[in-house]
Structure 1
């Protein structure tokens, strides 16, 4: 905790500013001198250190944030695009005297099926420093060292976390520090890994921006801004937000595919497609198996340009397989933030209309990236949701697109050092395979894989063609 408090001082000599991108990082020699510790993780020639700091104003009180950080379910829901899994392993201090300490596990992911997720076993300590200020600190605990060192990716968290002074008026200033050592043994997709890491994918700024975006989403006034025949009243609006959040979280979870692949992909696909089949373990959903296909690819366009194109109803027919070359109609819209494009929409498309279905979609954009996640839902279920019905038992199998800046410095882009914006698209589709028992034949597996891969590759090709990026 002393180390964490020391690093939170902006004038600490451990911090130096990068001459290329203005980011702050920890100077190793100064750090080791200031905070000597013989119990740090093993040294490896393939390991690297990641460190960063950032701060921002969040529209929540300090105590509300601490309550979220101490609850693994709320923690996952607040950071659905970062945290795949989280749970408490043990309570080390119950929270007396303004301090709470617990042993936790979490899995973090990078929103690409081509890069491994990270597993952390760590101690989380939340302490009230004074009437208005709290601190949250995480530090790795070597509970399962043998398991971790055999894993594809070994990650160790040095003291990291945030300081939260409450500003009043339901706002807090959050100062965040991330400091970790990572040793990735799988170097296959180093190009995508380096492009994504260059944008501080696990850095402090991403945690801050995500916290701001989700806090705004959760506290944004509920109001349908587009006429709807489903009569979205308060209960219906709350239901739409709830099921949409489950959809986004579910989509992000399926992208951690590197450790559970079932099929090898052909060289024609450039080894960037990933396919898996898993049993549906959601107790409230239809029984069966789910085939998932995902890929990540680079585009020579800024992520905002790509997002604005994909989000435009007038151009959706050019790439969406559900549109089948026809225009789509927006039936309802629920705002989730002040930025254009941050909303939940109910869409009618040509193919789904024939099957008495609608499309539920949530889109979001901030300075760290954007996403467009959607799922087909039966019309009677949409009507039930709008009328305040139970959303916990609704089947939802989301598809979608994540758009990330490619993370390279301007000096590294384009020819002769000229700046050239780029972005990485991660596209994923999934399909339910219904069976009469708890098994699936090889023929069913191959049919499902072929079907979901065709949908994915067709969508990717159509997006490339529409954006003029076929080469």
Structure 2
């Protein structure tokens, strides 16, 4: 078993080879060269020798470099197509899993035909029946794959992670772990299932009408104050007057079939360091959009482009059907799933609006829209300001089915509308736009404490590595379709949630990864807790992996206007592991904060600091997500979203990842679960001791 280190094996192999060959491996093309190569690839993915020689002369590259670039690009495109094909099979995988669970529950309720009582337990019979059912389901999956292959004209490769991993669960003791069962399925961390959608011309016409009406509602919500919006006397937030809203939009408020639906409506506005054209470009690209809001968006995909916009106007009139998963950073809060229409319109010169609205769609004869959440017209109005800034007014309007399933720790935060409301979206946008602006600064703004980040390329490489680390951390505590959690009993009411998956992502070590997390409530303001984790002098009080050794910051990269938004490279003093450094990113805004860190070995860190591409450096991050508890009695008087943090209690999610086995066929054992459970429990105990919070639950 190995804790989340930077993984030096791959880099040691590189350092033992010829240094000249190592330099050739990390050759970086210029932006002009890449642009020219990409343009040629669109025209001809398989250039002949004459074309390669011509490119070689134009770009100043060797013909061999041109040849290898096109080979790598074709391989990349092939992998993307295969991932798209595999998404259709993930739904079938979910079906297999659900039927397997149903079989287990049915076996528990079997009645003996002779006496009418419970049958004698026969573990072999149960396992044999499950294996037979799994074999039958696998045959069904193979049949569906074969049919799909005939439909698209080429074979579909089933991902290896569809096969079960023998976890040796019989070795777990229910008494020792304090739980009745431990059912850990081995899943890919990003396997959200989106069924294929079939749209007719009539569907597209109806979609355009729905999107146009949604845009009209969004603009009115953004631009109208009283009597539609009123100011809250308690915190100064905008509150929608539902009676006035129902009169203004009667057809948009048909009686809900389920009385358990709860409405969350919020509005907020602020200045963003990004112009309207750039923001619109990001919003209409699902990958860029999810990257901008990675602490909120766990998954985003464009299902189909209904309209690419008006001729001669970039994105104006663009309409897309998208699938979204929105998250709160804790395994205790389920993700929210939506199929939405996203519509973009230019209102006037320098003013744009982007609206989302839920839309019921069908996959074949099956309804695939999610009834648990419905997104009424939501989005933002963007207006250009001088010096590349823009004013953004955000509307968030969601109807959520709530049958008492909200965890009691998060009830106040979610019901107040702060968890998924406009304030959180806007605060996240302001913080991430500042980070983007820092990455575009041409002069180095890194604080060079040890002479380790001398170049602009090194700073950007470190920012890219840290971004991937935070993305990995957020995915590790997600509750999306690809992440199922099992709760172990712990010292508090919540317990420790564990999940296991295969690490298959590029740049990561292949193997079995165990994620563990818990959320605790502390009667301490979020800002105080963030400062506690961020302070190098107090790190030894909670970091159980540092063995109580102090740390020293050797490099510092600023990520925003708040001093807490930064990337740090830390070195543990008096440590026996002199070849290890700690990469850490911290970020904070009015909606919450993060402190994410990961040990990285010295050769890999030097590679990133020198400006080389860090995408192949393995990362297994741990960290903390800090949120306000959402209680109404927080602070004194009105509070606006411009405050860094509201006072009051905090919800702190503590998360760790460990590499159980470097072999994809490795097995999970009791020792691994016990280790990570003790790691979480010890960390929580030390945090409460340092903050004098042992009386809190």
**Equivalenced residues, count:** 460
Secondary structure in 2 aligned to 1:211? Answer: helix
Of 416, 428, 431, which aligns to 2:655?
428
- State the TM-score, normalizing by the size of structure 1: 0.92
Find out whether 1:291 has 2:509 as its counterpart: no
Partner of 2:401: 183
Q: 1:350/1:51 Cα in 2 relative to 1: closer, same or farther (>3 Å)?
A: same
Name which one, 1 or 2, has greater alpha-carbon Rg. Answer: 2
Decide which moves more: 2-11 or 104-113: 2-11
Structure 2 Cα separation of the partners of residues 252 and 404 of structure 1: 14
Q: Shift of residue 25 of structure 1?
A: 2.5
Secondary structure in 1 aligned to 2:373? Answer: strand
Aligned 8 A contact 2:487 2:496 in 1: no
Q: Shift of residue 20 of structure 1?
A: 2.8
Structure 2 Cα separation of the partners of residues 120 and 281 of structure 1: 26
Q: Shift of residue 392 of structure 1?
A: 1.1
Q: Shift of residue 425 of structure 1?
A: 0.6
Of 226, 234, 239, which aligns to 1:25?
239
Q: Which runs of 5+ in 1 are unaligned?
A: 414-418
Partner of 1:416: none
Secondary structure in 2 aligned to 1:205? Answer: helix
Structure 2 Cα separation of the partners of residues 234 and 272 of structure 1: 45
Aligned 8 A contact 1:92 1:102 in 2: yes
Any residues of structure 2 matched to 1:8-19 within 5 Å, and which?
8-11=222-225, 13-19=227-233
The structure that is strand-richer by fraction is: 1
Q: Shift of residue 262 of structure 1?
A: 5.2
Find out whether 1:460 has 2:674 as its counterpart: no
Q: Shift of residue 394 of structure 1?
A: 1.1
- State the TM-score, normalizing by the size of structure 2: 0.63
Find out whether 1:111 has 2:329 as its counterpart: yes
Structure 1 Cα separation of the partners of residues 583 and 662 of structure 2: 26
Q: Shift of residue 149 of structure 1?
A: 4.9
Q: Shift of residue 241 of structure 1?
A: 0.4
Q: Shift of residue 194 of structure 1?
A: 2.5
Secondary structure in 2 aligned to 1:338? Answer: coil
Aligned 8 A contact 1:335 1:344 in 2: yes
Of 445, 454, 469, which aligns to 1:223?
445
Structure 1 Cα separation of the partners of residues 569 and 634 of structure 2: 42
Structure 2 Cα separation of the partners of residues 239 and 456 of structure 1: 31
Of 612, 615, 632, which aligns to 1:392?
615
Structure 2 Cα separation of the partners of residues 103 and 352 of structure 1: 53
Q: Shift of residue 353 of structure 1?
A: 5.4
Partner of 1:52: 266
Of 457, 466, 469, which aligns to 1:247?
469
Q: 1:242/1:435 Cα in 2 relative to 1: closer, same or farther (>3 Å)?
A: closer
Q: Which runs of 5+ in 2 are unaligned?
A: 1-214, 637-645
Find out whether 1:162 has 2:380 as its counterpart: yes
**Larger RCO of the pair (alpha carbons < 8 Å, separation 6+):** 2
Q: Shift of residue 33 of structure 1?
A: 1.7
Runs of 4 or more, structure 1, over 4 Å off, are 38-41, 144-150, 350-353
Find out whether 1:133 has 2:351 as its counterpart: yes
Partner of 2:593: 370
Secondary structure in 2 aligned to 1:425? Answer: strand
- 1:230-258 per-position Cα deviation (integer Å, ceiling 9, x unaligned): 24411110000011111111111222238
Aligned 8 A contact 1:52 1:204 in 2: yes
Q: Please, what is the CA RMSD of the aligned residues?
A: 2.3
Q: 1:337/1:41 Cα in 2 relative to 1: closer, same or farther (>3 Å)?
A: farther
Aligned 8 A contact 2:308 2:318 in 1: yes
- 1:82-141 per-position Cα deviation (integer Å, ceiling 9, x unaligned): 111111000011122522110111111011111111011100011111111101011011
